[in-house]
Structure 1
Amino acid sequence: IEPGEIESALVVHPSVAQAAVVVREDRPGDKRLVAYVVGEADADTLHAHCAERLAEYLVPSAFVVLPELPLTANGKLDRRALPAPQAGGATGRAPRTPAEEVLCGLFADILGVPAVSVDDDFFRLGGHSLLATRLVGRVRSALATELSLRDFFQCPTVARLAEHIAGGAGTAPRPRLAVAPRSDEHLPLSAAQRRLWFLDQMEGPSATYNIPLAVTLTGAVDPELLRQALGDVLARHEVLRTSYPVHDGEPRQYIVPPDEVTVPLTTADVTEDELPDRIGEEAAHLFDLAAELPLHAALLRLAPERSVLVLVVHHIASDGWSTTPLMRDLTAACNARAEGTAPSWEPLPVQYADYALWQRDLLAEQEETQLDHWRTALAGLPAESTLPPDRARPAVASYRGSTHTVHCPSGTHQALTALAGESGATLFMVVQAATVALLSRSGAGTDVPVGSLVAGRTDEALEDLVGFFVNTLVLRTDAGGDPTFRDLLDRVRETDLAAWTHQDLPFDRLVEALNPERSAARHPLFQVMLTLAEAAEPAPALPGVRAETGRPGMGTAKFDLTVNFYEHRDRAGRPSGLDIVLEYATDLYDPATIETAADRLTRVLDAVITDPDVRVADIELLTRDQRRALLTDYNDTAVRLPEGVLHELFAAQAARTPDAPALVCGEHELSYRALDRASDAFARRLAGLGVVPGTAVGLFLDRSPEYVVAVLGVLKAGGAYVPLDARQPRERLAFILADTGATLLVTDRDAPAEGLTPLPPPDVPALLAEAPAEPFRALVHPDQLAYVMYTSGSSGTPKGVANTHRNVVELALDPWWGAGERHRRVLAYSPPAFDSSTYELWVPL
């Protein structure tokens, strides 16, 4: 960062006489750009002025107006004399009412800043939708007012929000979450837990819903101390010592008393080579939800001062947001046990069972209101909208998966964050719009639903609790009408704000109410999931030990495609890069397809930060090489094919591979030599019955070796074969025979053969016995008819489609068929009178 660039931008403002920009660190690790100006402008004006001229990361987070800049005796800027910015950033007004005072305190606490003024913008100070969700709960508790996330986007400062509340905004607050009376035999599961329990019952135990953490520990670790600390954490969080047996036909929570808990920690010595597989084994632990605690731990020792702690929690007891309180509590417990005492933490205000009871009552009151929104928002939702797969979807999803990762540099991350800020959106909304643009451009259509997770911690009492609170929302975006990216982002913003306002309805209740077409092959309502999270994983701070947390790969995929964005930040908290991790179902996609999709997603991101007003349809998804391959290389299909007619080319193949199998039917096999000789003999028989070049011969036979012999025989005699379909009425068959002028009908059944010479199907053994050494050949030109097939006649009279030898040869000898030894053996399954039988017969022969 070059402060001079920022100072130059400031002094061009007519109200600024002088400017100085410095980096301050008034709190350890909290580095901020602060601008000091001499002039009349206020902070909001200066912020807007800089935002128009500078990249987002160059816009100061605070502006301090001074009568003059302090100077040293040498006339240089006296940096030590510059005052710290007030109220967390901008020079703003102090709170004037009790409501503003409360809100200022809540803003500062949530944002982690010393203080804020009534004019500070929540989102400019680093706020985002997850923090805003926490703020909703805090405001509910402090001011007895129920606000929505939309309220915070529309009123991002304390002054505007307080005015909004004073004007009667906000609904009556929901019931506060508190400790609830319990009946130990009738503790219900939460709605989200019931869904996972049902999946476990239907599919059996699976690692699909495991949440594994691998904590690399450098330093001496006492397994017994770790066991005691884990026991403390289990005692603190009831959900970690809860099983889910069935009582009177319904699953119930059974909470094991703390003094009866056996800490599920195993220890083992492993080598470096064994470690990856062992971590994978531990991460794939199968939980018995009816009898087993939902936490599994293993300490894998590589050396006296190097080990890996694998913690696996079933999703029924935890979620991604639970990792922070889990690690924080494990840290406190380890530190206390290292000093020989039990941890002395503040009691949790509620436990997960209290939440389950509270949620049940809340849904009974609000479910229909929330359902009304979702019924409207998701009316007519497509049954499937996904990245086009490489192969057909299996009848039952296996949940096998893999991942592919790409990285976006800090410049891209900062520019995306700036785009979100200037658009009144969040970074999540920006990457959602980019993902929708990619899916729509890739063939998913213009009605694109994606899944999204919300923390579900809408009450202040849940902030420090481990548990499964996350809910899944369906975010539906209309990508139609040739929008610009900014238009698409506006649509996404409106959709998301409405969805977040109605986030309490559990996903399984939504599915039950909407009742979409169910399939074990795909996820209901959406098939693509989108997430945004911090890249840094919380790690326990153990005494004398350095810890680093990672997530081991599971080899699973819950959805067709999950697009995960992970944010990296520098020490000052600024955006410093994005990892995009695509988790995909290997049932559907090849690695190359996902690699291409990831590359194109980064191209979308680069395009929209360069020009947010670019039309989505105009975003260049292809590299130069890909464009050349599609437009030039793939269309370079000119190839010189052999001149000739079908039966002559077949005879040439028979001469090259006389003993190779040409036809297989059940247990019977016919070689190229035998097929060539039998068809020669049949051609002589046809010629003896008057078949000459141009004669149409009807074939009323099923798929069989005899049919193929007859086809070759007709062609060798110079005729054109006319296959008939036994499913068609006699009148239509008679019309086809008359329309083609056929004089001969080869058949093994009753047929409308009036005026035609009937001939039984070829007797292959007899034909081979009478076949002379010399082949039979009539003079046939490549442009002579090979066959005539008729349309179904659904729009009127059936029409004959005539194809020449040249037409069929060009189809059969297309180089694509033979690439990589493909299409050498083909199942003949089409009716002979259907045009796809042409491929099935002539390409492999």
Structure 2
Amino acid sequence: MDGPDPTYNIPVVARLTGDPDRTALRAALRDVIARHEVLRTVFTVVDGEPYQEILGSDEVAWQPTFVDVAANDVAAEVARMATCTFDLTTEPPIRVWLLSVNAREHVLVVVLHHIAGDGWSWGPLGRDIALAYADRRAGRAPEWAAPLPAQYADYALWQRELLGTADNPDSVLARQVGFWREALAGVPEELELPVDRPRPAVASRAGHSVPVEVSSELHGRLVELARLGAGTDIPIGSAVAGRTDEGLDELVGCFVNTLVVRTDLSGDPAFRDVLGRVRETGLAAFGNQDVPFERLVEELAPARSLARHPLFQVMLTLQNTGRAALDLPGLGVGTSGAAAGLSVAQPARFDLDLALTEVFDEQGCPAGLRGVVVASADLFDPDTVETIAARWVRVLGTLVANAGVRLDAVDVLDDDERSRVLVTWNDTAMVVPEVPVAELFAARVAEAPAAIAVVSGDSELSYGELGGRVHRLARRLIGLGVGPEAVLAVVLGRDSGLMTALLGVSAAGAAYLAIDPTQPVERIAYMLDDATPVLVVTDSVNASHIPAAWCGERGAVLVLDEPVVVTALESEPSSPVGDADRLVPLSGSHPAYVVYTSGSTGQPKGVVVSQAGFANTVAAGRGRFRPEENFRIAQFTSIGFDVFCLEWALALVSGAALVVVPDERRLGDELARFLVEQAITHRVSGAKAIPRRRSLPFALGAGYASRSVVGVVAADREGFRQVPGDGPLPSERGGPRSRSRPDRPV
């Protein structure tokens, strides 16, 4: 009842050969609508509650649509009709078109809304249309074999009576809800699938469809294995027909219900044991199938989100209700769907939706499984869906060949994939010059001293100005006895002074520990106590964040803007610092910086990154992003995060401008506007999305950017390529790439 939406359309398409009797077809379709009340039911909302209003046959001004269409336009017309939208409050939930290419070639399109039908419904619907058409073509009203024993509204009333009320502990509803409450206790809110991109805030329902085919041999072995009866918490949705009485078999209506079959894969079980668990769980679920899924969600009240389906995100359906027969006298009824070149795009109601149909030969022997997997286009690329489908069939073959195999021993990769993972993706060797980052920066200063190095607020600092400050500070530190193997803590805000300090420490040959002054004082104290720096570099604004113990006996503090320090720095030469100036020559094994983990699993842990490792990370980053002198890289990341080191170094060893994002503009629309106003070309973060605007790549941290940020930037850029990553500590972890658009942000 969320308004017109094609997500729950059920289209059926068939090619017809011959000369259809349009008058008979029109009358037959109206006969069928008269026979099945649900096809002439509208769903009205009063005081927020929907109810069924059954229209009389004479009240329904319903007609099929007959259209002449060119052969080349048939596929597009079928696709358009399959995605039609119903206003369920005013119109019947079925539409029919007859597309005529010429006097002998036609296409019949029937679209039924899921609120009024399910997969089973196509059987009685097809049979009734065929019978009514035959009778109307013969000039008589339909002679039904028997009146329907009930109507869908009768079923709805019966179901309500059967279930009873939730406040009655002896009712079917209370008992079955109790079962599901226990069975689904602690069920994961979201199944972690190998997606290509982060989940959007609201699911678009766009999907990629990939055919799935299981051979007759494998099908037969599956049947034999089933007779044996024999993430670790996997909730899978499974559809059941819901027609628990033979009197419902010939009704059109939505009787299908969805069960959540929760599979326990803990303990590395053998596949035969998993089958036993699934059978036990499935039988228990089937014994409690009467509560409609929507009511179950209402009762269990799981965390809801417009981004995903509640309770499960993977659906598995086996269509074993038999194929609908549409036998229209005088007409040849050909193949439909993809086999006829008339495939219809299917919406994605779930993250992954696998629907299969069993095929049997004339002797009733298994002849294979045919079906389709529909995956959310919000999460998956088409080639990924194809890979998932192929792996599913391959794993199925492995499991039925050896039902005793343990799950951890099942290999989901084929030989080519294994080679790609172990060989191709690991062929990343490159020559990295053993030049410290500080010397790479010095080279940029010499090449383009007038170029802008750092932009912070209204101030801009050129490479020449920054280089002079860096080298004066480095010489002052060397004079204080600072050199390789020493660790200096830097407690400064995000501005040009911070860059001066970090590069000054690096030029002296020491390692820096960058500390965000806004962090809790307890964390700052812990890092200082653990790293025991020989000196803390700060300024008068941030000195108050340093624990008092470190301003006395336990450590020395250098306040950069104290008059005596300013005078001392001004007296130092601004020429580049080299090994001849350092206490000892700098080597690749010397520490470059120290960074601490978040401490989410306990105490924060310090990680020492060597000069060679830092240079390797920067080389990998330059190879991936290829920054140039005219690039403007946003300094966005928190000072204490490992990506921060790559962020500033990527800019300042490449001759690019490092633009500091002000604290007040780091979120939402303000961040988006800042990125555009400052013509930012890169924002590096834990997850990266790279659009292209003219010749400038733009790296945007999708893991940290809101939809509004990506939307504003996307409107100013042409396209995106997403590159997930986890920062420089692993020295550039790779990731899959995918494309996105301004109308579907990363």
> What TM-score range do you get, normalising by the shorter chain?
0.7 to 0.9
Instruction: Look up the SS of the partner of 2:208 in the other structure.
Output: strand
What is the rounded CA distance, in whole Å, between the counterparts of 1:323 and 1:231 in structure 2?
A: 16
Match of 2:688 in 1: none
In the TM superposition, what are the counterparts of 1:134-213 in structure 2 within 5 Å? 200-201=1-2, 204-213=3-12
Give the percent of matched residue pairs that are identical in Structure 1 and Structure 2: 45
Radius of gyration: which is bigger? 1
Deviation per residue, 1:701-735 (Å, 9 max, x gap):
21123311332233234444343332343993995
> What is the aligned counterpart of 1:841 among 648, 665, 668?
648
TM-aligned CA deviation for residue 528 of structure 1: 0.8
Instruction: Look up the SS of the partner of 2:106 in the other structure.
Output: strand
Match of 1:706 in 2: 497
Is it true that 1:450 corresponds to 2:236 in the alignment? yes
Match of 2:256 in 1: 470
- Cα 1:245–1:693, aligned 2, differ >3 Å: closer, same or farther? closer
- Cα 1:744–1:571, aligned 2, differ >3 Å: closer, same or farther? closer
TM-aligned CA deviation for residue 580 of structure 1: 4.0
Deviation per residue, 1:212-261 (Å, 9 max, x gap):
11121111123332211111111111100110112354322111111222
In the TM superposition, what are the counterparts of 1:509-524 in structure 2 within 5 Å? 509-524=295-310
AA partner of residue 431 (structure 2): R
AA partner of residue 366 (structure 1): V
TM-aligned CA deviation for residue 831 of structure 1: 3.1
Instruction: Look up the SS of the partner of 1:559 in the other structure.
Output: coil
In the TM superposition, what are the counterparts of 1:543-562 in structure 2 within 5 Å? 543-548=329-334, 550-551=336-337, 552-562=343-353
Is it true that 1:342 corresponds to 2:141 in the alignment? yes
Match of 1:54 in 2: none
Match of 2:728 in 1: none
- Cα 1:714–1:357, aligned 2, differ >3 Å: closer, same or farther? same
> What is the aligned counterpart of 1:577 among 347, 365, 368?
368
TM-aligned CA deviation for residue 595 of structure 1: 2.1
What is the rounded CA distance, in whole Å, between the counterparts of 2:380 and 2:101 in structure 1?
A: 37
- Cα 1:607–1:733, aligned 2, differ >3 Å: closer, same or farther? closer
Deviation per residue, 1:12-37 (Å, 9 max, x gap):
xxxxxxxxxxxxxxxxxxxxxxxxxx
TM-aligned CA deviation for residue 601 of structure 1: 1.2
Match of 2:77 in 1: 278
Instruction: Look up the SS of the partner of 1:451 in the other structure.
Output: strand
Match of 2:610 in 1: 804
- Cα 1:692–1:506, aligned 2, differ >3 Å: closer, same or farther? closer
What is the rounded CA distance, in whole Å, between the counterparts of 2:537 and 2:265 in structure 1?
A: 60
Match of 1:741 in 2: 534
Deviation per residue, 1:459-478 (Å, 9 max, x gap):
12111110010011111122
Match of 2:14 in 1: 215
AA partner of residue 395 (structure 1): A
> What is the aligned counterpart of 1:400 among 206, 211, 214?
206
Is it true that 1:819 corresponds to 2:612 in the alignment? no
What is the rounded CA distance, in whole Å, between the counterparts of 1:794 and 1:242 in structure 2?
A: 56
What is the rounded CA distance, in whole Å, between the counterparts of 1:397 and 1:269 in structure 2?
A: 36
Contiguous gaps of at least 5 residues in structure 2: 165-170, 338-342, 653-746
TM-aligned CA deviation for residue 677 of structure 1: 5.3
What is the rounded CA distance, in whole Å, between the counterparts of 1:213 and 1:412 in structure 2?
A: 29
Instruction: Look up the SS of the partner of 1:274 in the other structure.
Output: helix
Contiguous gaps of at least 5 residues in structure 1: 1-199, 426-444
- Cα 1:686–1:464, aligned 2, differ >3 Å: closer, same or farther? same
What is the rounded CA distance, in whole Å, between the counterparts of 2:526 and 2:411 in structure 1?
A: 54
Match of 1:781 in 2: 586
Match of 1:732 in 2: 525
Quote the RMSD (CA, aligned, Å): 3.6
Is it true that 1:481 corresponds to 2:267 in the alignment? yes
What is the rounded CA distance, in whole Å, between the counterparts of 2:603 and 2:253 in structure 1?
A: 69
What is the rounded CA distance, in whole Å, between the counterparts of 2:536 and 2:53 in structure 1?
A: 85
Deviation per residue, 1:626-655 (Å, 9 max, x gap):
223333444455443211111112334566
Instruction: Look up the SS of the partner of 2:71 in the other structure.
Output: coil
> What is the aligned counterpart of 2:437 among 638, 646, 651?
646
Instruction: Look up the SS of the partner of 1:597 in the other structure.
Output: helix
AA partner of residue 759 (structure 1): L
Instruction: Look up the SS of the partner of 2:535 in the other structure.
Output: coil
TM-aligned CA deviation for residue 206 of structure 1: 0.9
In the TM superposition, what are the counterparts of 1:257-268 in structure 2 within 5 Å? 257-268=56-67
AA partner of residue 533 (structure 2): T
Contact residue 488 and residue 537 of structure 2 kept, 8 A: yes
In the TM superposition, what are the counterparts of 1:104-119 in structure 2 within 5 Å? none
Contact residue 163 and residue 172 of structure 2 kept, 8 A: yes
Instruction: Look up the SS of the partner of 1:245 in the other structure.
Output: strand
TM-score by length of 1: 0.67
What is the rounded CA distance, in whole Å, between the counterparts of 1:414 and 1:789 in structure 2?
A: 58
Deviation per residue, 1:92-119 (Å, 9 max, x gap):
xxxxxxxxxxxxxxxxxxxxxxxxxxxx
What is the rounded CA distance, in whole Å, between the counterparts of 1:372 and 1:795 in structure 2?
A: 36
Match of 2:659 in 1: none
What is the rounded CA distance, in whole Å, between the counterparts of 1:406 and 1:395 in structure 2?
A: 30
Instruction: Look up the SS of the partner of 2:127 in the other structure.
Output: helix
Instruction: Look up the SS of the partner of 1:303 in the other structure.
Output: coil
- Cα 1:306–1:209, aligned 2, differ >3 Å: closer, same or farther? same
AA partner of residue 612 (structure 2): R
Match of 1:7 in 2: none
Of 737-746 and 410-419, deviating more is 737-746
Is it true that 1:538 corresponds to 2:339 in the alignment? no
- Cα 1:515–1:791, aligned 2, differ >3 Å: closer, same or farther? closer
Is it true that 1:376 corresponds to 2:376 in the alignment? no
Instruction: Look up the SS of the partner of 1:740 in the other structure.
Output: coil
Of 280-289 and 543-552, deviating more is 543-552
Of 254-263 and 242-251, deviating more is 242-251
Contact residue 451 and residue 475 of structure 1 kept, 8 A: yes
In the TM superposition, what are the counterparts of 1:42-53 in structure 2 within 5 Å? none
AA partner of residue 469 (structure 1): F
AA partner of residue 312 (structure 2): F
AA partner of residue 514 (structure 2): P
Is it true that 1:630 corresponds to 2:403 in the alignment? no
Is it true that 1:411 corresponds to 2:202 in the alignment? no
Match of 2:159 in 1: 359
What is the rounded CA distance, in whole Å, between the counterparts of 1:738 and 1:389 in structure 2?
A: 39
Is it true that 1:828 corresponds to 2:635 in the alignment? yes
Instruction: Look up the SS of the partner of 1:320 in the other structure.
Output: coil
- Cα 1:460–1:805, aligned 2, differ >3 Å: closer, same or farther? same
What is the rounded CA distance, in whole Å, between the counterparts of 1:257 and 1:724 in structure 2?
A: 75
TM-aligned CA deviation for residue 620 of structure 1: 2.6
What is the rounded CA distance, in whole Å, between the counterparts of 2:43 and 2:607 in structure 1?
A: 67
What is the rounded CA distance, in whole Å, between the counterparts of 1:544 and 1:358 in structure 2?
A: 41
AA partner of residue 620 (structure 1): D
- Cα 1:580–1:652, aligned 2, differ >3 Å: closer, same or farther? farther
> What is the aligned counterpart of 1:590 among 377, 381, 394?
381
Match of 2:663 in 1: none
Instruction: Look up the SS of the partner of 1:253 in the other structure.
Output: strand
Instruction: Look up the SS of the partner of 1:298 in the other structure.
Output: strand
What is the rounded CA distance, in whole Å, between the counterparts of 1:795 and 1:206 in structure 2?
A: 45
TM-aligned CA deviation for residue 807 of structure 1: 2.9
Of 659-668 and 315-324, deviating more is 659-668
TM-score by length of 2: 0.75
- Cα 1:761–1:279, aligned 2, differ >3 Å: closer, same or farther? farther
Is it true that 1:390 corresponds to 2:196 in the alignment? yes
Contact residue 698 and residue 722 of structure 1 kept, 8 A: yes
> What is the aligned counterpart of 2:93 among 294, 311, 319?
294
AA partner of residue 581 (structure 1): V
Instruction: Look up the SS of the partner of 1:452 in the other structure.
Output: strand
TM-aligned CA deviation for residue 382 of structure 1: 2.4
Deviation per residue, 1:823-842 (Å, 9 max, x gap):
98765334324444223322
TM-aligned CA deviation for residue 269 of structure 1: 1.9
Match of 1:310 in 2: 109
- Cα 1:266–1:410, aligned 2, differ >3 Å: closer, same or farther? same
